[in-house]
Structure 1
Amino acid sequence: MEPFVLTNQSYLTIEIWSRQFPELIAGFTTKSGGASKGDFESLNLGFHVGDDCANVCLNRENVAGLLKFPLQQWVGAEQTHDIVLQKITKADRGKGSNSYEHSFKGTDGFYTNEEGILLTLCFADCVPLFFIAPEQKMIGTAHAGWKGTVGKIAKEMIVAWGREGISPDQILVAIGPSICEKCYIVNEHVINLVDKSLEEGGVLPYNLVKEGQYSLDLRELNRQILLASGVPDQNILNSGWCSSCHNEEFFSHRRDKGKTGRMLSFIGWKETAKRL
């Protein structure tokens, strides 16, 4: 069953988690329901792609309203396809929420165990990873393109949470909408790095298309890295949405030849009312 369900035209939510954890907001935006024009039509949420910043801010305000999660409680990153993670506290709220210049530099993943913080990252084909350890109230999200994937950013999150006293079998992971193996063709250089990232006995997540060209399943590769990191198979959800195939719903860097908008992964605990 598809874990990411279209809640309205502007975003999908992880339905199973929504039922299990009512105070959790977690999902992935679409490209519909925004103010951006042309190549960025219409719900572009990336500041760094050449869109009018006023429209991006308006789009973000619209999403904040839909999620009932104020923009000043968001955090965002300058993503570099690396494996650097940042633990977030309430003191960080607002960084990267309404400008790229004030975002976390050189960061491709966030995690926190505090309420009232929305962790956000931008995507246009790369794999969004969502993490939750319910007992410890720890949540996280990571950006896994092919570089971050073979660098094992998924494992980095599991290791970082281990330092927080969280064992892999306590962690639930959702692998979000991203480019599928049919749409994602890579060369031998990438495949050589993929081979190095696989544990012995792992199923190859790619197929030869023609000489020097391979179709790569980045979602499956991330799943195998998570399994090798100790996350039980039953704890991993895997989306079937493809950012390239589902052109009505998503921007795609490959399909749109680089000139396109960005979707947003988001995860956060609602801030509970203070008791008098």
Structure 2
Amino acid sequence: MGDFIVKHNTNGVWYGEFASLSAKGIKHGISTRLGGQSSAPFASLNLGLHVGDDTGVTWQNRQAFCQALGLSADHAVTAEQVHGAVVYQVNAQDAGRGSRHYHEAIKDTDALITNVPGIPLMLFFADCVPVIIVDPVQKAIGISHAGWKGTIAKIGQKTLLAMGQQYTTNPADCLVGIGPAIGPCCYEVDKVVINKLQENFSCWEELVTPAGDHWHLNLWEANRQQLREIGVLDENISLSGICTACNTQIFYSHRAEAGRTGRIGVVIAL
């Protein structure tokens, strides 16, 4: 966890960042559940507009989180995440889409990329894997939402390849941060998931640990492996190593909290 640091802002918000990305001047942050206004079961820094929390309070939380990072919540671009593998290229005219109202977010999308300065890309998580990608050479960024379906569909890999198509990004130049998500200690899956994993990962046996008639799946490593496949250097990939299900006092966990919980936000901007 050495590269991932949790900070406390003067406005009360607690959030994490990757030192390797901050060293490149990239504004980014991974929120915790600490320092917001939401009531239980969303206490307290819920950033998801679609979970049943008070939307006015959620907007206040989004403003506080972005303020802690020196970013504008009004300009943030979000998506209606569906556990798919669609990557959307964000342009200047998209600024603010979904920042205040869920129905205005980009439809059916689980990854965002841009090379436009000043537009924060923001996605939401409660066990799924946040994958943050920075191309410091071509000045482009991306963010992916990788649950088991997105991970198996290689959404992180597809996000970086889309950056290559749009911005001539070279994977070898990129820095990647893989944020807090449910860990292999807690993520138990069945044969349906394993069959899909076998179809898409030749190294699938390295990603699982048998547990009776189920398996424990390492989503962190699955996302790292798919990026290594296309040329991201090992030394440029940072894992937070934090399991959200083990740490519900700090992060939201859909599985550990039986689906009734909030969402952390992951944001990045040029």
TM-score, normalising length: structure 1: 0.93
Write the distance in 2 (CA, Å) between the matches of 1:224 and 1:202: 10
Equivalent of 2:27, from 25, 28, 31? 25
Equivalent of 1:198, from 198, 201, 206? 201
**In the alignment, residue 2 of structure 1 is paired with which amino acid?**
G
Report the counterpart of residue 48 of structure 2 in structure 1. 46
Report the counterpart of residue 263 of structure 2 in structure 1. 262
Q: CA offsets per residue over residues 124-171 of structure 1, 9 Å max, x none?
A: 000000001101111110000000000010111122122132222112
Over 3 Å counting, the alpha-carbon distance change for 1:165 and 1:208 in structure 2 is same
Q: Contact between 1:150 and 1:193, CA under 8 Å: does it hold in 2?
A: yes
Report the counterpart of residue 187 of structure 1 in structure 2. 190
Report the counterpart of residue 111 of structure 1 in structure 2. 113
Per-residue deviation, 1:119: 0.3
Q: CA offsets per residue over residues 1-44 of structure 1, 9 Å max, x none?
A: 532210115211112221x222x111200001111101100000
Report the counterpart of residue 131 of structure 1 in structure 2. 133
Matched, 1:3 2:7: no
Write the distance in 1 (CA, Å) between the matches of 2:65 and 2:29: 12
Report the counterpart of residue 273 of structure 1 in structure 2. none
Per-residue deviation, 1:251: 0.6
Secondary structure of residue in 1 paired with 2:28 = strand
Report the counterpart of residue 224 of structure 1 in structure 2. 225
Write the distance in 2 (CA, Å) between the matches of 1:3 and 1:203: 27
Write the distance in 1 (CA, Å) between the matches of 2:102 and 2:42: 17
Equivalent of 1:14, from 18, 22, 36? 18
Report the counterpart of residue 177 of structure 1 in structure 2. 180
Q: Contact between 1:78 and 1:103, CA under 8 Å: does it hold in 2?
A: yes
Range with bigger deviation, 65-74 or 132-141? 65-74
What is the aligned residue count?
265
Structure 1 residues without counterparts, runs of 5 or longer: 270-276
Write the distance in 1 (CA, Å) between the matches of 2:234 and 2:6: 24
**In the alignment, residue 15 of structure 1 is paired with which amino acid?**
A
Q: Contact between 1:4 and 1:27, CA under 8 Å: does it hold in 2?
A: no
Matched, 1:240 2:241: yes
Q: Contact between 1:90 and 1:116, CA under 8 Å: does it hold in 2?
A: no
Over 3 Å counting, the alpha-carbon distance change for 1:158 and 1:61 in structure 2 is closer
Per-residue deviation, 1:203: 5.4
Per-residue deviation, 1:62: 1.2
How many percent identity over aligned positions?
39
RMSD of aligned Cα (Å): 1.2
Q: CA offsets per residue over residues 207-228 of structure 1, 9 Å max, x none?
A: 11112x1101101011111111
**In the alignment, residue 6 of structure 1 is paired with which amino acid?**
V
Equivalent of 1:88, from 83, 87, 90? 90
